[in-house]
Amino acid sequence: MRPIAELPPAKDRDLLMKRIEAIKGLAEEVDVPDSPLGKPSAHAIAVASLALQAGLNPIAHIRIRDINLLALKSLLGAAKLLGIRRVVPLMGDPPALGAPVDQLRTEDAVRAAKEEGLVVGAMLSMRRNYAERLKIGADFYLILNLRRPEDMEGLRGVEAYPYLLIRTSRNAELMARLGQPSLSLEEVRRFLDALYSYGVKAVVVSAPGDFDAELAALGEFRR
pLDDT number for residue 64: 97
Phi and psi torsions of 22, nearest 5° = -65, -40
CB atoms within 10 A of CB 176: 11
3 state DSSP class of 78? helix
> Strand 86-90 and strand 2-6: pairing?
unpaired
List average pLDDT for each run of 10 residues in the chain, which is 223 residues long: 96 96 96 94 97 98 97 98 98 92 95 97 93 93 96 94 97 92 95 94 97 96 80
pLDDT number for residue 222: 80
pLDDT number for residue 128: 87
pLDDT number for residue 130: 86
pLDDT number for residue 174: 93
Fold of 2-222: TIM Barrel (3.20.20)
